[in-house]
Amino acid sequence: MHIPSLSTTSFTLLLATFSLASAKVVTLSWEEAYSKAEILVRQMSLEQKVTITTGTGWGGICSGSTNCTSNPDFPSLCLQDSPLGVRSTYNVTSGVSAINAAASFDKQAIRARGDYMGKEFRGKGVHIQLGPTMNYMRSPLGGRAWESGGEDPYLMVVLSAETVKGGQDNDVICSVKHFLLNEQELNRMNSSTEADSRTMHEIYLWPFVRCVEAGVGSVMCSYNEIDGTYACENDYILNTVLKGELGFKGFVMSDWGATQSTIASVNGGLDMTMPTPEYFGKNLTDAVNANKVSEERATDMTMRIVAAWYKVRQDIDSPAVAINSVDQDKAPYVNVQEDHHKLVREMGAASNVLLKNVKNTFPINPKNLKKVAIIGSDSAVDPRTFNCDMRACTSTHLAQGWGFGTVSFPYLIDPLTGLKDAFGEGVVVQSSLSDWDLEAAKDTDYAFVFANANSGEEIQFIGDTAGDRNNLSLWNNGDNLIKAVADANKNTIVVIHSVGPVLMPWADHPNIKAILWPGLAGQKSGNSLADIVTGKVNPSGRLPYTIAKQEQDHSAGISKEAVIVYEEKLLMEYKWFDHAKIEPLFPFGYGLSYTKFNYSKLEVKATTSLDKDNKKDAIVEASISIRNGGPVEGAEIVQAYLSFPNSAGSPPKQLRGFEKIFLEKGERGIVDFKLEKTELSIWDTKPESWVIPSGQFKLHIGASSRDIRKVAKFTL
C-alpha cells in the first residue's frame, strides 16, 4: 500500500513499532528451538519431564506456575493473565481492550499494542501471557466478546496474529485461547458444542491457523466439550487438527481447571495442566510406568514446552518474576509503563467510531462554546469502585469489561475530566453524575449524555448479569436518560461505552445531533474522547460487529441447551444480515469521518497456476485510487470483500482485506490488495482440504460491508 502522508497519531505508532522491532533479538525458528530443547530434555528423568508439564496449584504469585528442575536446570515458568495486559499487579498499562484494537482496523497500531504488552509482561518476569483471546462475538450477548475481535474471521486473524508477533518479539510466549468453540459463558463447563467441519475450518479455526503460522508458542484448550468430548482431551481437535493438520509445534495448556483426566488428556494432546497437579505429577508418572501413556509422549510434552521457551529466547537474561497475585503490595517495585500511555491515548481515539454527525456537529471548536452539559454516571470515575475486584463495578465510567481478562488501572481519565481539560477554563461545564436528574441538560450549547452496557466472565455477577448479557439494552436507565436529555436539549450528543452492540430506540430523535461509540478505551479514555470531539484527531474507527435495529435480527443468541449447535454455520452476523436481507442500524465496518473519501479506478488482475500437489493456486492483485475530497486530512479504512462463485455455497460476501490510508485534504493515494490461496479458498469437506473453487468471483471495495463503492469480477 502506498501511503503519501501520515497523521501525527499514526506516525507515533509507526515509530514505536519500527524502533522496537529493529532493537529486538530475532526469535529462533522451531527447528533451532527444538535442537536446543533436545539437548536439555534428553538429560532429564521421567519425573523431571513430568514436573515441567505440571502446575503447582492455586494461589501462587502468578496466575499459574510450573515446577522447576535441577541438574539439568529448567526454571519454574510464570503464567499470567490477561489478554489486556499484566493482571494483579501495579505499575502496568491498562490500554484499549481487544474489541477496540479491532475497531481501529489498523494493523500497525494492533502490532504496537501487542509489542508494548509483550514488553510489560517481559519486564515483570512473566514467561507466558494468557492471551490473546480469539473467540468470536457469535452473539452480541456473549460475555467475554470484548476480550476479542468481533464477528469476522479476517479481522480476528489480523488482530490475533499481529498481537502474537508483537508479544513474542519481546521474548514472551503467547497462549492463544480458547480452543475451541467457546463463544458464551453460560454452561461453559458443562455443555457440548457442535459445528460442521466447514464452519469450524472457515471461521473458528482460521485465526488459530494464522497464529500457528506466526509461530505462537502455546494454545489454551477450553472448558466445554466438543461433540461430546472435553476440549482438553479431544484427540481429534488437539492431535488430528491442531498438531497434525495445522502443524502446531508449541504446547497445549488447559484452561484453569479444564483438565478432566490423566490418560485421556495426555493421549488426547494436552501438554500442560493448570493450575493444579491433580491429574499430572505422580499420576502421570504412574501412567507412564504402567504403559498407559508412552514415555515418548511424556518426552514430547516436555519438548514442546522447552522448545517454546527457547524459541522466544527466554534462556537469555530473563528478568526475575516481579508480581504477586496473592498480595500485590508484596511484589517488588518494577515499573514497566514507560510511555505506553501515549499509544493508549492514540488507539483510544483511533478506535472511536463516529456513528452519527448531523450537519457537522463534530468537531467542536472550544472557542465557540460558552456552556455545555455532561450527564450520566458513565461520564465520571467513582474513586471507590473503578478498580474494584475483577473490574466488576456498576457505578463508574466503563473502560473495560470484567473478569480475569482485566488489568488494574494505574489511573483512569474519565470523560468529564478529559472534556473539561480540552474545552478549557473559558467554558462552563454543568455536570450531573445522576442517571435520573435532567436539570443540567437545560440552557447549554450542547448536552453530552453518557451511558454504557457491561459484561464479563461468569466468575462474578453484577446484579443479575452472570457474564453473558441478559439483553442488548443500556444499563443504569440509559435509554430513558438519553431520550429525556434529548427532549430537553436540541443539541444532544450521545456517547456510549459498551462491550458490544446495544439497541438504540432513540437513534432517530431529531435533537440527537451526534452519536459517538468509544467502546472500551482504557486508562486514557477521557483524553481519547476529547481528541475526537475537538477535532485533534479525525475519527477513523470502524465497527467490528453489527448493530441491529432489534435483538432478534442477530444470527445467534445465548443457548441454554446442554448441546450448543452452531446452526447459523457460515452466516455469522453481517453475513446473516446480507443473506436474510435484513437492514442493520449500523453495519459491520461502518464509521464516519470529518472528511470525505472518493474511490475510483479499481483494477484487478487474477493469475492461476498449479501448486506442488498439482492443485489450483491463484493470486489476485487489486488496486484502487482513494482521494480525500473533504475539508481536512484524515484516514480512510478501505475494505475488500469477496463473493465466491455460486457453486461454492459461501455467504454473499466476506471480508478479505483492509488497509488504512492517511491523506491530506485533496490528496490522492493508491491502496493495494493481494489475495492468495488463503483468502481465495473454501474448505471442501469431501477431500478434507482447502480448495479454490472454479467460476466467477466478485471483489467489492468500500467503506463498510454495506457501503460498497466499486465492484470488479474475475474468473478462476
SS3 sequence of 305-318: HHHHHHHCCCCCCC
| 460: Cβ contacts below 8 Å, ≥ 6 apart | 389, 390, 392, 402, 403, 467
- Residues 679 and 686: their CA atoms lie apart, in Å, by 20
Catalytic hit among 81, 106, 255, 578: 255
Query: Is 317 annotated as catalytic?
Result: no
Identify whether the C-beta of residue 514 lies closer than 8 Å to the C-beta of residue 494.
yes
Identify whether the C-beta of residue 566 lies closer than 8 Å to the C-beta of residue 199.
yes
Q: Which three cell numbers stand for residue 144?
A: 467475554
Packed helices 525-533 and 340-350: angle between N→C axes, nearest 10 degrees: 50
| Class of residue 453 by CB neighbours under 10 A (exposed 0-12, middle 13-18, buried 19+) | buried
Identify whether the C-beta of residue 682 lies closer than 8 Å to the C-beta of residue 650.
yes
- Residues 416 and 445: their CA atoms lie apart, in Å, by 16
Q: Which three cell numbers stand for residue 535?
A: 477535532
- Residues 535 and 354: their CA atoms lie apart, in Å, by 12
Listed residue (90, 109, 463, 373) closest to 98, CA to CA: 109
Residue 31 neighbours by CB distance under 10 Å: 9
**What is the bridge-based pairing of β-strands 371-375 and 446-453?**
parallel
Report helix, strand or coil for 620: strand
- Residues 496 and 512: their CA atoms lie apart, in Å, by 13
Identify whether the C-beta of residue 659 lies closer than 8 Å to the C-beta of residue 638.
yes
Identify whether the C-beta of residue 299 lies closer than 8 Å to the C-beta of residue 309.
no
- Residues 388 and 112: their CA atoms lie apart, in Å, by 28
| 125: Cβ contacts below 8 Å, ≥ 6 apart | 78, 318, 319, 320, 321, 322, 323, 334
Listed residue (696, 682, 692) closest to 649, CA to CA: 682
Packed helices 153-168 and 107-123: angle between N→C axes, nearest 10 degrees: 40
- Residues 74 and 492: their CA atoms lie apart, in Å, by 61
Identify whether the C-beta of residue 664 lies closer than 8 Å to the C-beta of residue 628.
yes
Listed residue (523, 548, 657, 531) closest to 94, CA to CA: 523
Residue type, 63: S
584: DSSP letter: P
- Radius of gyration (C-alpha) of the chain in whole angstroms: 25
| 171: Cβ contacts below 8 Å, ≥ 6 apart | 25, 27, 118, 122, 312, 313, 314, 316, 318
Distances (CA, A) of 444 to 309, 356, 425, 431, 690: 59, 20, 16, 11, 60
Identify whether the C-beta of residue 711 lies closer than 8 Å to the C-beta of residue 663.
no
Paired strand residues for 445: none
Q: What stretch of H or E contains 610?
A: strand 597-610
Residue 560 neighbours by CB distance under 10 Å: 10
Residue 694 neighbours by CB distance under 10 Å: 12
Q: What amino acid positions are annotated as catalytic residues? A: 255
